[in-house]
Structure 1
């Protein structure tokens, strides 16, 4: 009995230690989800301000003369796509889902697609299906690191646009849904959609006095478009990271539940074995007493 009991005790101790690690990872994942979701909410007011500014530019009577490389429809026939993935473990099908969605979506477009991957794992998945890869960006590990990534993407994208190599810019990422569920989505950033521009031009201005553009109208439009691109990329990255941590949290919750069930079974077996040993010892005592009484 002692050897078996010791073995069970070691298993119970190991399962308990593992559960402590899992619960710590659960807490870290939940905390990370909170900071990324908070950053997305914080962008809301600023994004609306940028939309109002763009609406003023597009509402201007001379807006047709303000068209830039970011707003014009071109026929270069080259698409640039940014696919946000994860380089961390315990995220399930996170990279596969967003990569498969990007492949299927890009396949429906007639233009050639070149892809930037955010994360080595999603890059490998995209390379396996034969998509042309422009390069790799490192996945941010905090909210403060997102701005640096967005800056790198904007610089690379602008370089290719200035060289006339790109006509459209797409984003692919996982967006959080209810609970621990996430959904792969896409967004075309450039050129700016005509319907979207028209809707912005019709936005209600919150004050009675209508605004006017002071200074160079083209430069004002370009500055607002840069802010729109920055906010859109930042939000896509933050939502991707929130989805990644939601997936990890769900995995940790399942692991915690499984460990609970394992511990319950081990403890039940341990107590049954212990009770059986006690019963055997009592039986031996009673048998010995009866033997002595008979003699």
Structure 2
């Protein structure tokens, strides 16, 4: 059985750890509250831009004019570009593990179809994982998710567009990120960024009449596509950032509770050791008195 001094030393150490986990939890909670508000505010605009691009794409495809390069299908292409969004920091539970596990599944599925995958990796944790596994990265972006900003999404968007336009072998651009469902539920999700998909399940009702566009539809679409890409990337980065803060808050809350339970258990053990020590001393006193008699 450990000595009383050793137990008290352990209690002090666990209390210090508990203070750290509690502080991290409070910081994550404050960031989560702010991020939730920004995410909720950004979703309607991003969805409207996405719906507008889908509507224009559907209308332009019915015409015989040349399509903008970003929406042209490439049936002969054999490469996919995957943007993987991970965190720059740890202490966020299974956040990074879940994303990287899905990344490997995506890669294996692509190889089974005879396709190659180019990786754009966002976040230090993803970059470190790819480096350890000797998986080649086309580009890496760090400190993007630590403080999400629209300018960062613009940088990433330009890189994605440039790679897509300069490499005709890229069939599609996908984004793997953590989708924020609630404070206690975040799930890995795959989003097809390019070419844009026309989702009939969204319930988007087309008007019975047609619009007159000025300038032409294809010109509007060509101008709108880069903004669509940047807006969607910004939303997805914010989804991942919000999920990261929620995961970190939950993990640190559990760690704080576990530390409290350990402190309670060590306190009981310290009481038992102290009682045993007192009992032993009393027995020694009684034994000494009996010996004198």
> TM-score when scaled to structure 2?
0.79
Q: CA contact under 8 A between 2:35 and 2:242: conserved in structure 1? A: yes
Is 1:182 the equivalent of 2:186? Answer: yes
Using the TM superposition, give the Cα deviation of residue 40 of structure 1 relative to its aligned residue in structure 2, in angstroms. Answer: 2.0
Using the TM superposition, give the Cα deviation of residue 265 of structure 1 relative to its aligned residue in structure 2, in angstroms. Answer: 1.6
> TM-score when scaled to structure 1?
0.79
Aligned positions of 1:8-87 closer than 5 A:
8-54=7-53, 57-58=56-57, 60=59, 64=63, 65=65, 67-74=67-74, 75-87=76-88
1:152 to 142, 149, 155: 155
Aligned positions of 1:79-98 closer than 5 A:
79-98=80-99
Which residue in 2 is equivalent to 1:108?
A: 109
Using the TM superposition, give the Cα deviation of residue 4 of structure 1 relative to its aligned residue in structure 2, in angstroms. Answer: 4.7
Deviates more, 1:168-177 or 1:118-127: 118-127
Is 1:163 the equivalent of 2:162? Answer: no
Using the TM superposition, give the Cα deviation of residue 222 of structure 1 relative to its aligned residue in structure 2, in angstroms. Answer: 2.0
Aligned equivalents of 1:201, 1:185: Cα separation in 2: 21
RMSD across aligned positions (CA): 3.5
Aligned positions of 1:282-293 closer than 5 A:
none
Which residue in 2 is equivalent to 1:137?
A: 141
Using the TM superposition, give the Cα deviation of residue 5 of structure 1 relative to its aligned residue in structure 2, in angstroms. Answer: 4.4
Q: CA contact under 8 A between 2:60 and 2:218: conserved in structure 1? A: no
Q: How many residues align?
A: 285
Which residue in 2 is equivalent to 1:203?
A: 205
Alignment CA distance shift 1:86-1:52 (3 Å): closer
Which residue in 2 is equivalent to 1:261?
A: 261
Aligned equivalents of 1:174, 1:257: Cα separation in 2: 26
Aligned equivalents of 2:263, 2:128: Cα separation in 1: 38
Measured against aligned partners, the alpha-carbon deviations of 1:120-169 in whole angstroms (never above 9, x if no partner) come to 332343455564420210133545x3323312221112222332343311
SS in 1 for 2:138: strand
Using the TM superposition, give the Cα deviation of residue 54 of structure 1 relative to its aligned residue in structure 2, in angstroms. Answer: 2.9
Using the TM superposition, give the Cα deviation of residue 83 of structure 1 relative to its aligned residue in structure 2, in angstroms. Answer: 0.5
Deviates more, 1:224-233 or 1:20-29: 224-233
Which residue in 2 is equivalent to 1:119?
A: 123
SS in 1 for 2:70: coil
Using the TM superposition, give the Cα deviation of residue 117 of structure 1 relative to its aligned residue in structure 2, in angstroms. Answer: 0.7
Q: CA contact under 8 A between 1:54 and 1:200: conserved in structure 2? A: no
SS in 2 for 1:76: coil
Q: CA contact under 8 A between 1:26 and 1:252: conserved in structure 2? A: yes
